[in-house]
Amino acid sequence: MKNLKNWVGEITGAFSATLKHAFAERDTVCYPAEKPDLPERWRGRIILTVTPEGEERCVACYLCSSVCPSSAITIQGAEREDDERRYAEKFEIDFTRCIFCGLCEEACPTRAIQTTNDFEMGASSRAELVYDKSRLLENHTGKYPDFDYFKRAGVPIRGKDVGEGANEKPPVDVYTLLP
Amino acid sequence: MGTLYIDDQPVEFQPGDNVLDAAKRANIEVPYFCYHPALGAVGSCRVCAMETVPSREGEQPRTVMTCTLKAQDGMRFRFAQSDKAPGVSKTMVEFYMTRHPNDCPVCDEGGDCHLQNMTVEVGHAYRRFDGQKKTYPNQLLGPLVWNTANRCITCYRCVRFYQDYALGDDFGAMGSRNNVLFRRIDDGAFDSPFAGNIITVCPTGTFTDKVFRRKYSRTWMLKKSASICAHCSVGCHVEPGARAGTLRRVVPNENSAVNQYFICDRGRYAPHASEAANRPLQVKVGGQLRQEPALAVLRQALAVSDARWGVMGSAREDVVTNLVLQQLASDLNAPFTAFTDPLTEVRTKTAVNLSLSAPSLQDIEAADCILVVGELTEHAPMMELAVRQALKQGKPVMMLHAAASLLAGMVRKQRSLQAQTQAPVLWAETLQKLISSLSQEQADGWAALLKNAKAPVLLGVAEVMPTAAIKALAELAAVLGEQARVGFALPAANSFGAAQVSQAGSSEQLLEALERGDINALLVVGADPMSGWQGERWSKALAKIQHLVVVDHIHSATVQAATVVVPSATVSEHNGVFINYEGRVQSFAKAYSRETQVLLQEELIALLSGDARARVQSQLLSMLGSVMPSPGSTGSRIKPATLPIGQLAEAVLGNGPALVLQGWHGEEEVAGFATELASLTPHDSVGIAPAYAKALGLTLDKNSRLTISVHNKQLTLPVSLSAQVAEGCVAVSRRAFAELQARLGDEVKLTAAMRLSEEPAAPSVVAHFTPLQGDNSNGGLRP
Ligand code: SF4
Ligand code: SF4
Ligand code: SF4
Ligand code: SF4
Ligand code: FES
């Protein structure tokens, strides 16, 4: 008797769940016809961004490549010919190694490297998944529309001499003897 | 030896330690900035604070600067347990950081920055000061050093090194009160051959390595090794750092018995020759580049049927390589030498035989009287830095020289320095006179100084000293007795080792065998006979032969003439053993591998037969006397048996002016290919003393030019009038010697040529030498 009661209960329970879900709102989307709506802070395809003035933000400080737990980033820095502004001559991310942990973004002092909510990176060979600078660099500021590291640093660059940065006094006069 | 207590923990100290030293030795992380073991304590940064523990009733605890306190037995301090001391350190660091720029991401010091470490250590994480930051103008300091003045924390380490330790005077503290900054009087490269060390002593990124900057990489990413400098016979310990198969920088490797904390600029920048654009990196056979393994090509080249071989090793290649080549020569039944010039061979061997009690750099620093014969700065810079340490303490230093030298140039500022100029042919006589006046009751002048000294040191430069003078210097040491030590700067890093493997007169024999046509094939490893002292003779002899197989890592004149070029590894790229000027055996370890295949010198052993390999082993053991020293250790000194030396006629006193070498401290066979360092090469000129010029009937001023004629060759150069050139001598650079195909001591004819203002002089540059290019002495990219 007790068995029969359980049996009936299980069947009706299962069928009612099925019926309920048959008419419920759908979670599945018809990808790729329909795109999922991912939050902005999703950790997807990594990009390099530029300052509001359109200069490359990355200063080749090697912090992202050092913090990367899967050694996915390879950088070589160089100096710009006319003003010694350091930039990444070579910047490579191997997305076959990247685990999308976002540590590089956290480590970056210049907000250059950013994760995006794009995850569509399928490729038919491993080599295609090694992105060089031309595929990483995008011509926008990403999530941080205002930040410009060099404005706050003490080194002179084109258009900003020593003492012209944020919060800086003009350089001292080397030759003055006045108190 | 004694014990003091920090936070109740016993800490052992060594004699001469201060409390900070003792704490560092015990791995207690006390913050500090201004203290440096070689530069001493000045107690100015106020960061190394600890609190005393009162030993008597009624005494109050005091906050003290540990760098200024001499360690004494039983002292007690509170550091981590103290309430006050960490606060003092933290406040001081916060003060230093108020105007410090936010530069870490673009600062080359980042990750290897003493200031960064200390700031993190004391726990100062956020800037509370929100006022405006003071800024300072940067200065362009030539092609080797980069300046970013804002980062300075005024610890004065740089000036203390530059002025107090290295006795330089073109860089110092400028400005007054809180506007103090550290710079040169004028923009441009430093005068001192040791300037690169301010990069090492500066605890911040104010001074950084400009060559490294151009191929920068964070220092923790570099592949490093314990290596030995290959650019002179001192054998300083260095640490090359490389990444992705290329050399990025070289820094001194701290050690106790050789160069301790510093290296000279040649040692720091010459290794960048490995990145020269024209470095051979691929096998080349008959002018054709080939994609073949180096060793296989070498083996093929040696197997040609019609060849009668000769083998040449090198004084800049390591001991094992030379031993292997010597055995290879005996396998091939070929003559062998490790020298390119018979005269240099004789002089080196004479000096090596007399170097058994050569003074170490520390012995030189501690000497109470020094006699220098030859231009020491230009041949062995760090040996000369040791002389400056004695000079600084007011110890008498005497110098006998024939050409301008930075040491001799200090004579006006250093009262205890006396310099005398004299033609090298007369040096032996002068030294003999000194010896005879020593035996007199009333010795005076230099003899008296030497006689009264308790630890006199005599130093010679083997390359420019006539053999008789080398012997006379050693005799002088013998007459002075046990306490006197004599040492010689030898021509190359492994000259001592090369002398051990070459038979008497080996280079002359090889050269004659080539000239007679007894041999028609030559294997050269790491040497450049065609641009050495006998360049002309070698060039003629080598032009006749069918097979010239050259193994090297620079684009030398000999490499350019070779039928087969096999690229080899630089010192940072392979393992080996050097023997320095004191007979100190030191090994070096490979830091990195190049991406293209170059022959590692240790692979040469594969060319030997089984027997020969065993002979190399046993010879190495018998030569080194014990086990091989490990890289990074300062090894032990060997005292080899006296080497047989052949006879060779040397230049004699003539009537006309004799050619002497005007050296430069950044100059060396390999260093000439390091673009940045070589860009500082002084312009060629002919040095002559004003009085001597007058005696020759020449009226000269700074716009005059002279034509030097010797053996049908002529060269016209601008005149540099200098009282530092000896009477009877004219001083010219190695390049000029090569162009004139002249040798040390050759007699020349001088004639006045068209003046500079009348015709712009084209700089004369010999083809094999890296031309002056790239950075000028103004160095910077911004005007
Ligand atoms: S997301 Fe993580 S794994 Fe990927 S590159 Fe950045 S740090 Fe490396
Ligand atoms: S952390 Fe940022 S600035 Fe530094 S190398 Fe990476 S992307 Fe460039
Ligand atoms: S000197 Fe040190 S603390 Fe200052 S910017 Fe450079 S790395 Fe940072
Ligand atoms: S003194 Fe000689 S061995 Fe020492 S760093 Fe200079 S060149 Fe190298
Ligand atoms: S290290 Fe002691 S006061 Fe600077």
Q: A52 in the Ramachandran plot: left (φ > 0), alpha (ψ -120 to 50) or beta?
A: alpha
- Decide if A169 and B132 are in contact by the 8 Å CB cutoff: yes
Res B68: pLDDT: 94
- CB-CB neighbours of A42 under 10 Å: 15
For B415-451, the DSSP string reads: TTEEEEE--GGGHHHHHHHHHHHHHSTT--HHHHHHH
Q: Tokens 């050789």 sit at which residue?
A: B258
Res A143: pLDDT: 93
Nearest to B684 by CA among B760, B765, B768, B741: B765
- Determine the residue among A66, A86, A167 to mutate to test chain B binding: the one whose Cβ has the most chain B Cβ atoms within 10 Å: A167
Res A27: pLDDT: 81
| Ordered alpha helix ranges (H), A48-89 | 63-67
Sign of the C-alpha dihedral computed for residues B528, B534, B535 and B538 taken in this order: negative
Assigned domain for A113 exists? yes
| Structural domains of chain B, with CATH | 2-92 (3.10.20.740), 104-275 (3.30.70.20), 283-339+502-624 (3.40.50.740), 349-492 (3.40.228.10), 658-768 (2.40.40.20)
Banded model confidence at residue B779, pLDDT cuts 50, 70, 90: very low
Q: Assign 3-class secondary structure to B543-608.
A: HCCCEEEEEECCCCHHHHHCCEEEEECCHHHCCEEEECCCCEEEEECCCCCCCCCCECHHHHHHHC
Q: Assign 3-class secondary structure to B154-216.
A: CCCHHHHHHHHHCCCCCEEEECCHHHCEEEECCCCCCCCCCCCHHHHHCCCCCEEEHHHHCCC
Q: Tokens 């330690």 sit at which residue?
A: B17
Nearest Cβ partner for A167 among B133, B183, B214: B133
Is the CB of B104 within 6 Å of ligand 3? yes
Instruction: Round to whole Å and give the CA distance between B397 and B395.
Output: 6
> What confidence tens digit (pLDDT) does each residue in B174-214 have?
888 888 899 998 999 999 999 999 999 999 999 999 999 99
All residues of chain A having their beta carbon less than 8 Å from the beta carbon of residue B220 are: 66
Task: Show the tokens assigned to B600.
Answer: 């590692």
Banded model confidence at residue B773, pLDDT cuts 50, 70, 90: very low
Range of the domain at A125: 43-158
Ligand nearest to the CA of A131: 1
**Helices (H) then strands (E): counts for chain A:** 5, 6
> What confidence tens digit (pLDDT) does each residue in B63-97 have?
999 999 999 999 999 999 999 999 999 999 999 99
Smallest CA–CA distance from B133 into chain A, residue: A168
Res B203: pLDDT: 95
Ligand 1 atom at shortest distance from the alpha carbon of A64: 7
Mean pLDDT, chain A, integer? 93
> What confidence tens digit (pLDDT) does each residue in B580-612 have?
999 999 999 999 999 988 999 999 999 998 899
> What confidence tens digit (pLDDT) does each residue in A7-17 have?
999 999 999 99
Ligand 3 atom at shortest distance from the alpha carbon of B101: 5
Nearest Cβ partner for A155 among B103, B136, B177: B103
All residues of chain B having their beta carbon less than 8 Å from the beta carbon of residue A84 are: 781-782
- Is pLDDT above 90 for B52? yes
- Decide if A162 and B217 are in contact by the 8 Å CB cutoff: no
Assigned domain for A19 exists? no
Instruction: Round to whole Å and give the CA distance between B758 and B755.
Output: 5
SS3 at position B221: helix
**How many angstroms is it from B246 CA to the middle of ligand 1?**
26
**How many angstroms is it from B202 CA to the middle of ligand 5?**
14
Banded model confidence at residue A26, pLDDT cuts 50, 70, 90: confident
Q: Are strands B576-579 and B336-337 parallel, antiparallel or unpaired?
A: unpaired
Nearest Cβ partner for A174 among B100, B103, B174: B174
Banded model confidence at residue B760, pLDDT cuts 50, 70, 90: low
Instruction: Round to whole Å and give the CA distance between B298 and B356.
Output: 38
**Which amino acid makes up residue A54?**
G
Residue nearest to atom 6 of ligand 1 (CA): A104
Q: What is the pTM for the complete model shown?
A: 0.91
Assigned domain for A103 exists? yes
> What confidence tens digit (pLDDT) does each residue in B296-342 have?
999 999 998 889 999 999 999 999 999 999 999 999 999 999 999 99
How many whole angstroms from its chain centre is CA B9? Answer: 43
> Please, which residues have CB within 8 angstroms of residue B698's CB and are 6 or more apart in sequence?
B688, B704, B706, B750, B752
Name the CA dihedral angle for A27, A31, A37, A41, rounded to a multiple of 10 degrees. Answer: 110
Nearest to B708 by CA among B735, B681, B682: B735
**Percentage of residues in chain B having pLDDT higher than 90:** 84
Assigned domain for A5 exists? no
For chains A and B, CB pairs below 8 A equal 98
Is the CB of B538 within 6 Å of ligand 5? no
Identify the contact set of chain A against chain B, taking CB-CB distances under 8 A: 59-63, 66, 76-79, 81-84, 86, 109-110, 149, 152-156, 162-163, 165, 167-174, 176-177, 179
- Is pLDDT above 80 for B495? yes
HSE-up of residue B551 (Cα within 13 Å, Cβ side): 30
Instruction: Round to whole Å and give the CA distance between B473 and B447.
Output: 13
Average pLDDT over residues B423-448: 91
CB B374 within 8 A of CB B464: yes
Task: Show the tokens assigned to B124.
Answer: 């100062």
Res B199: pLDDT: 97
Res B758: pLDDT: 58
Is the CB of B203 within 6 Å of ligand 3? no
Has A30 been labeled as part of a binding site? Answer: no
Res B770: pLDDT: 36
Average pLDDT over residues B241-248: 96
Nearest to B592 by CA among B577, B578, B572, B576: B572
What angle separates helix B467-480 from helix B342-353, to the nearest 10 degrees?
10
**Which amino acid makes up residue B217?**
S
ipTM metric: 0.87
Instruction: Round to whole Å and give the CA distance between B586 and B636.
Output: 8
DSSP letter for B673, please: G
Query: What are the Cα distances from residue B131, in Å, to A154, B100, B548?
Result: 15, 12, 70
Backbone angles phi, psi at B197, to 5 degrees: -70, -20
Assigned domain for A98 exists? yes
Smallest CA–CA distance from B183 into chain A, residue: A174
- Decide if A79 and B214 are in contact by the 8 Å CB cutoff: yes
Res B762: pLDDT: 52
Res B701: pLDDT: 86
Q: What's the total number of domains in chain A?
A: 1
Residue nearest to atom 4 of ligand 4 (CA): B236
What angle separates helix B114-122 from helix B85-98, to the nearest 10 degrees?
130
Mean pLDDT, chain B, integer? 92
- Decide if B137 and A149 are in contact by the 8 Å CB cutoff: no
Identify the contact set of chain B against chain A, taking CB-CB distances under 8 A: 100-106, 110, 130, 132-138, 148-151, 174-177, 179, 181, 183, 213-218, 220-221, 244, 781-782
Nearest to A136 by CA among A106, A167, A159, A105: A105
- Determine the residue among A104, A172, A173, A176 to mutate to test chain B binding: the one whose Cβ has the most chain B Cβ atoms within 10 Å: A172
Instruction: Round to whole Å and give the CA distance between B630 and B265.
Output: 26
> What confidence tens digit (pLDDT) does each residue in B139-150 have?
999 999 999 999
DSSP letter for B762, please: P
Task: Show the tokens assigned to A5.
Answer: 């009661």
CATH (domain of A92):
3.30.70.3270
SS3 at position B410: helix
Residues with CB under 6 A from ligand 1: A 68-70, 72-73, 93, 98-104
How many whole angstroms from its chain centre is CA B771? Answer: 22
Is the CB of A50 within 6 Å of ligand 2? no
Nearest Cβ partner for B176 among A61, A165, A177: A177
> What confidence tens digit (pLDDT) does each residue in B672-704 have?
999 999 999 999 999 999 999 999 999 888 889
> Please, which residues have CB within 8 angstroms of residue B774's CB and are 6 or more apart in sequence?
B143, B675, B676, B679
For B505-533, the DSSP string reads: THHHHHHHHHHHTS--EEEEES--GGGST
Q: Are strands B49-52 and B76-78 parallel, antiparallel or unpaired?
A: antiparallel
Mutate to test the pocket of ligand 2, among A46, A59, A86 (most ligand atoms within 8 A of CB): A59
Assigned domain for A87 exists? yes
**Percentage of residues in chain B having pLDDT higher than 70:** 96
Smallest CA–CA distance from A151 into chain B, residue: B102
SS3 at position B82: coil
Instruction: Round to whole Å and give the CA distance between A64 and B485.
Output: 55
- Considering only residues B260 and B627, tell me which one the structure prediction assigns the higher pLDDT: B260
All residues of chain A having their beta carbon less than 8 Å from the beta carbon of residue B130 are: 167
Q: Tokens 């960048």 sit at which residue?
A: B272
SS3 at position B408: helix
Res A176: pLDDT: 80
All residues of chain B having their beta carbon less than 8 Å from the beta carbon of residue A58 are: none
Res B151: pLDDT: 95
Task: Show the tokens assigned to B64.
Answer: 């003290």
- Is pLDDT above 70 for B759? no
Instruction: Round to whole Å and give the CA distance between B359 and B544.
Output: 45
Return the biggest CA–CA distance within chain B.
Answer: 96
What angle separates helix B319-332 from helix B610-624, to the nearest 10 degrees?
140
